[in-house]
Amino acid sequence: MLKLRCFLHSAILVLVLLVSTNSFAVEKEYMLKAGFLYNFARFSQWQNPLDENTNFTLCSPDKNFVDIADTALNNRTVKGLPLVNKYITLDASSIKQCNMIFITSDTFEDWIKTELLIHKNILVVGENDEFIESSGHIRFFLSSGKIRFEIAPQNLKSDGITMSSKVLRLARVVGG
Amino acid sequence: MKISQHSLWTLFFVSPILIADPFEDSDLDLNALMEMDVQVTSAMKRAQSAFDTASSIYVLSKEQISKSGANSVPEALKMVPGLIVRQLDNNQWAISSRGVASRFSSKLLVMIDGQSLYTPKFAAVYWESLNVPLYDIERIEVIRGQGGLLWGSNANNGVINIITKNSIDTRGGYVNATTGSQLNLDANLRYGGDISNIGSYRVYGHIKNSNASKKGIFLTPSDTAKQHSFGIRADFTPNDEWSGLFQGDVTKSELGQNYRGVIDDTNVNMSFSGDVERTDSRIMARLENRMSPDANQMLQLSWFRQDGNQEFINENFESIDIDYQMNFIYESLQLDWGLSYRYSKISFDDSLFLESDKDLDNLQQFGGLIQAQYNIIPDTLDFIIGTKFDHNDLTGWENQPSARLVYKPLENHLVWSAVSRSVRTPTLIEFNDDYKVDGTTVLEALGTSTGVKAIDEYTIATYLNGNDKVDSENYVSYELGYRFNDDYWSVDFSAFHTDAENIAVISSNTNPAQFLPALGLFQAGLFQQAAQALTSTRIDLDVVSVGETTTDGFDVVLAWQIMDKLSTELGYSYTKITYDLPSGTVPTIGFDSTNRQIFTKVNYSLEDHNIFATLRVENSDAYVSDNYTTLDLTWNYQITPTWSTAFSGKNLFAGSHIEYANTSETYTLPNYIDESISFSITANF
């Protein structure tokens, strides 16, 4: 009986170990994704010139991601403009301040609710299965532990953005 | 001028990114980001961050492979400092590290995407029939020495793990054709695409037709090759938690070969030329599950079959491997564990010079491994301890523990040390087979002349007998390494000392009583009858596990980014192996020897042109060959984004030379290796 109890304790401990996620691991994934976002910004063309802005603004409704991006992309510039990471709430006035938005899986439910918001001229990137169907432009996915992405050129075009062939070549191209 | 770290030969390391630090410029390159693993746990059977690995590791990058002009995996391996890569003829290779390379016993574990190519018949692989499209290789990880606990068994001298590209990264077409002085045609075709929104695939084909060498040792060379391959890989990623991989390859080879064997009553090794027909097939399926960002598991099923037919030897080998591995991190502890099972089916027809004395036609092996890595001082000191334990049908349970320490006193500096034990289970040649080898003359056997020429020159039938008293070879290694890495320089140094016992050696086990009738007739002056009586005698040589060896050495590799478009790599390797054998025994493979290698690589790019050169100075007394210096030089020209050409010279400087002349080794008969040139044209679309 004692042995059984010990076994159960061990099994529970292992389960606890497995479901507990250390922040280190999450940080690494978002740090890499921040690197991809920086590249998407570099290799995209906005129909409305960015010159009127003083910054290139990467927004996210996920505070955790914004903190990681602040570290990862410290002192970077995009098209000659300082890159600023901005934590926003998903409403029309906030979104207008952004050149690019990253919707994390924790904020995807909120994003769906804001689907009808106009995000013309804003590059919209996510990581959930239905993100492209929710008028997203680029969606991250994982393949054998590495980050890959799919792009919906039609969605991009209708929102006034074109992506360089250098990035398109690496992407899985999908319909909107 | 700040030079990107990424171009530093990719540092022969997959360099780690530091979490909570801003990105380096080089790591922000899109291609670099795509190579990085999301998981913080190291992927099984792969070194995630070579810089942090507590073993002597070298990562051969896809950029180096593509620029080198190599046409086969062994040719690509010539670019790995410290690896012994010797060519027997235009098809056969002897490859190892930290020991003696041999065609039949290199004690090196070779894998493709974690699928073992090890055959239990002998401790080596058939390099000549191995087909892996070089243009679809992501990287080749080479571990010198026995740092391969997670990789598998029989990795005493090292591990070579060939990692192929995910098919999502090889969508589109690829066509390549090469011709040259030695190679009539080597042509490749690959096409890849998406499988809906859940996966991707590629299919490829390869044909090769090559000439024989110009000069042989005993016979006119016949080492031509005709090869056809077909393969497929598909990757599935239905969601971020699960991914699957399926791949298969069939390669048919017709290889000309000079070889030797004892086939008649003369009992003397005869030399032959003949063709070997080989068919190698392999299938592998893998399922990976990301349980959380810091826990993952993997199940891999593999099937491997080799059929080889030639005039005196017909062999079939088949294996099925099932591997399950899981790893996770909890706070400062990373735990890796796994289970494995291997079933091998062996059919080796008895031939004139080879017979099996036990009916061993299948072997099973099962076991597990566990490794714990504890971060004692955050970002500074790690302790790794683990063991691999498994059971095999020949020697029962085996245990292979190791303990490692990784110390980072300063950023960019790393010191590691390791103590490990590994075993090599006997091969079937050592355990099961009786091999008729070159006979022994009476003069050689007695050491003195009988005064009768006919008797002195009579060659007594001689057999090398494997037997079930052979033990596993047992290796204990002590290693120490240091790495340094900055924007311009990197240094990788490792030193080792390995004590081995139970080394298989050869001991005479001849029954002297069988010679008494011949002796009696000789003493009676009946010389003709005495010679006749000798025909019923034999000399038996048994494989016995009584040898000991000591191996010492070091490897140092220095990479230097001289300017943005020019990088170099310099290496020096030293290995000294000493046998300690009881009197009356001789080694099976190798003998007291010292191996030295000087190594230089240069990579220079100018707009659409690139020059890539590898110079090796091989100095060794282990292969009964002269020392030699070879240069492999390739000029690559990117004509358009789609079309490119390359012009290569291989084995330059060395002239016609012998790389491997251990002709005392049964069966093997090498040729002179020639300088050669080749021209290739490639389209990527």
pLDDT in tens, B120-161: 777 778 999 999 999 999 999 999 988 666 677 778 889 999
Encoded tokens for B268: 């003397």
Residue from B139, B133, B158 nearest B9 by CA: B139
Q: What is the pLDDT of residue B635?
A: 98
Interchain contact B411–A (C-beta under 8 A)? no
Q: What is the pLDDT of residue B38?
A: 75
* Phi/psi at B640 (5° precision): -135, 175
Does B288 contact A39 at a Cβ distance shorter than 8 Å? no
pLDDT tens column, B249-274: 999 999 998 888 888 888 888 888 88
Q: Which residues of A touch B235 (CB under 8 A)?
A: 143-144
Q: Supply the mean pLDDT for chain B.
A: 88
The whole domain housing B408 covers 5-684
Q: What is the pLDDT of residue B123?
A: 72
Q: Which residues of B touch A146 (CB under 8 A)?
A: 34-38, 166
| Cα atoms in the Cβ-side hemisphere of radius 13 Å centred on B198 | 8
- The kind and range of the H/E element at B597 are strand B593-606
Q: Which residues of A touch B35 (CB under 8 A)?
A: 146
Q: Based on the number of CB atoms within 10 Å of its own CB, is B507 exposed (0-12), middle (13-18) or buried (19 or more)? A: middle
Residue ranges of alpha helices (H) inside chain A are 2-19, 23-42, 63-72, 92-95, 108-113, 153-158, 165-168
Q: What is the pLDDT of residue B19?
A: 54
- Whether the per-residue pLDDT at B648 is higher than 70: the answer is yes
- Whether the per-residue pLDDT at B556 is higher than 90: the answer is yes
Name which of A144, A165, A170, A173 to mutate to probe chain B: the one with the most chain B Cβ atoms within 10 A of its Cβ.
Answer: A144
Residue A39 neighbours by CB distance under 10 Å: 20
Q: What is the pLDDT of residue A19?
A: 44
Interchain contact A31–B (C-beta under 8 A)? yes
Q: What is the pLDDT of residue B91?
A: 93
Encoded tokens for B54: 């507590």
Closest chain A residue by Cα to residue B17: A28
- Whether the per-residue pLDDT at B8 is higher than 50: the answer is no
pLDDT tens column, B497-512: 999 999 989 998 888 8
* Cα angle B367, B109, B157; round to 5: 110
pLDDT tens column, A94-148: 888 899 999 999 999 988 887 656 678 899 999 998 899 888 999 999 988 889 9
Of the partner residues B21, B237, B328, the one whose CB lies closest to the CB of residue A141:
B237
Separation in Å, CA of A120 to nearest CA in chain B: 26
* Cα Rg of chain A, angstroms: 19
Q: What is the pLDDT of residue A15?
A: 45
Separation in Å, CA of B293 to nearest CA in chain A: 5
* Residues B279 and B321: beta-carbon distance below 8 Å: no
Dist. CA B39–CA B290, nearest whole Å = 8
Does B329 contact A25 at a Cβ distance shorter than 8 Å? yes
Average pLDDT of B600-605? 96
Dist. CA B149–CA B302, nearest whole Å = 19
Name the β-bridge partners of A89. none
Average pLDDT of B468-485? 93
Average pLDDT of B383-393? 93
Separation in Å, CA of B186 to nearest CA in chain A: 28
Does A145 contact B30 at a Cβ distance shorter than 8 Å? no
Q: For residue A45, what are the contacts with CB-CB under 8 A and spacing of at least 6?
A: A161, A162, A163, A164
Q: Which residues of B touch A143 (CB under 8 A)?
A: 166, 168, 235, 237, 243
The more confidently predicted of residues A4 and B227 is B227
- Whether the per-residue pLDDT at B494 is higher than 70: the answer is yes
Q: What is the pLDDT of residue B665?
A: 61
Interchain contact A167–B (C-beta under 8 A)? yes
Where is mean pLDDT largest: B286-295, B309-318, B324-333, B413-422?
B413-422
- Whether the per-residue pLDDT at B550 is higher than 50: the answer is yes
Whichever domain contains B318, its CATH number is: 2.40.170.20
The total of structural domains in chain B comes to 1
- Whether the per-residue pLDDT at B663 is higher than 70: the answer is no
Confidence bin at B366 (pLDDT 50/70/90): very high
Interchain contact B331–A (C-beta under 8 A)? yes
* Residues B153 and B109: beta-carbon distance below 8 Å: yes
Q: What is the pLDDT of residue B590?
A: 79
- Whether the per-residue pLDDT at B486 is higher than 70: the answer is yes
Chain pair A-B, CB pairs under 8 angstroms: 121
Q: What is the pLDDT of residue B523?
A: 87
Separation in Å, CA of B81 to nearest CA in chain A: 29
Name which of B19, B40, B171, B202 to mutate to probe chain A: the one with the most chain A Cβ atoms within 10 A of its Cβ.
Answer: B19
- Whether the per-residue pLDDT at B293 is higher than 90: the answer is no
Confidence bin at B411 (pLDDT 50/70/90): confident
Q: Which residues of B touch A20 (CB under 8 A)?
A: 292, 330
Q: What is the pLDDT of residue A12?
A: 47
- Whether the per-residue pLDDT at B490 is higher than 90: the answer is yes
Q: What is the pLDDT of residue B446?
A: 82
Q: What is the pLDDT of residue A47?
A: 84
Interchain contact A117–B (C-beta under 8 A)? no
For the domain bounded by A23-173, which CATH number is listed?
3.40.50
Residue from B438, B19, B42, B412 nearest B268 by CA: B438
Interchain contact A165–B (C-beta under 8 A)? no
Separation in Å, CA of A84 to nearest CA in chain B: 14
Where is mean pLDDT largest: B97-111, B315-329, B655-669?
B315-329
Interchain contact B22–A (C-beta under 8 A)? yes
Q: What is the pLDDT of residue B191?
A: 98
Query: DSSP letters of B362-387?
Result: EEEEEEEEEEEEEEEETTTEEEEEEE
Does B168 contact A143 at a Cβ distance shorter than 8 Å? yes
Separation in Å, CA of A93 to nearest CA in chain B: 30
Does A25 contact B37 at a Cβ distance shorter than 8 Å? no
> Within the 162-191 window of chain B, which residues sit less than 8 Å (CB to CB) from chain A?
166, 168-169
- Whether the per-residue pLDDT at B563 is higher than 50: the answer is yes
- Whether the per-residue pLDDT at A17 is higher than 60: the answer is no
The more confidently predicted of residues B668 and B401 is B401
Confidence bin at B450 (pLDDT 50/70/90): confident
The more confidently predicted of residues B172 and A9 is B172
Interchain contact B372–A (C-beta under 8 A)? no
Separation in Å, CA of B2 to nearest CA in chain A: 16
Interchain contact B37–A (C-beta under 8 A)? yes
- Whether the per-residue pLDDT at B559 is higher than 50: the answer is yes
Q: Which of B2-6, B550-554, B633-637 has the lowest mean pLDDT?
A: B2-6
Q: What is the pLDDT of residue B171?
A: 94
Name the β-bridge partners of B595. B575, B620
Does B294 contact A71 at a Cβ distance shorter than 8 Å? no
Q: Which residues of B touch A39 (CB under 8 A)?
A: 28, 30, 33
Average pLDDT of B630-643? 97
Interchain contact B237–A (C-beta under 8 A)? yes
Average pLDDT of A63-80? 91
Does A39 contact B28 at a Cβ distance shorter than 8 Å? yes
Of the partner residues A38, A71, A75, the one whose CB lies closest to the CB of residue B20:
A71
Does A28 contact B290 at a Cβ distance shorter than 8 Å? no
Interchain contact B293–A (C-beta under 8 A)? yes
Name the β-bridge partners of B209. B185, B226
Dist. CA B541–CA B461, nearest whole Å = 11
* Residues B231 and B207: beta-carbon distance below 8 Å: no
Dist. CA B484–CA A6, nearest whole Å = 46
pLDDT tens column, B156-214: 889 999 999 999 999 999 999 999 999 999 999 999 999 988 999 999 999 999 999 99
pLDDT tens column, B53-111: 888 999 999 999 999 999 999 999 999 999 999 999 999 999 999 988 888 777 888 99
Of the partner residues B22, B291, B331, the one whose CB lies closest to the CB of residue A71:
B22
Confidence bin at B322 (pLDDT 50/70/90): very high
Q: What is the pLDDT of residue B672?
A: 94
Dist. CA B455–CA B452, nearest whole Å = 5
Closest chain A residue by Cα to residue B333: A17
Confidence bin at B476 (pLDDT 50/70/90): very high
Dist. CA A100–CA A85, nearest whole Å = 10
The more confidently predicted of residues A9 and B530 is B530
Q: Which of B164-173, B196-205, B278-287, B461-470 has the lowest mean pLDDT?
A: B461-470
Where is mean pLDDT largest: A4-18, B46-60, B566-580?
B566-580
HEC string of B1-68 equals: CCCCHHHCHHHHCCCCCCCCCCCCCHHHCHHHHHHCECCCCCCCCCCCCHHHCCCEEEEEEHHHHHHH
Separation in Å, CA of A90 to nearest CA in chain B: 25
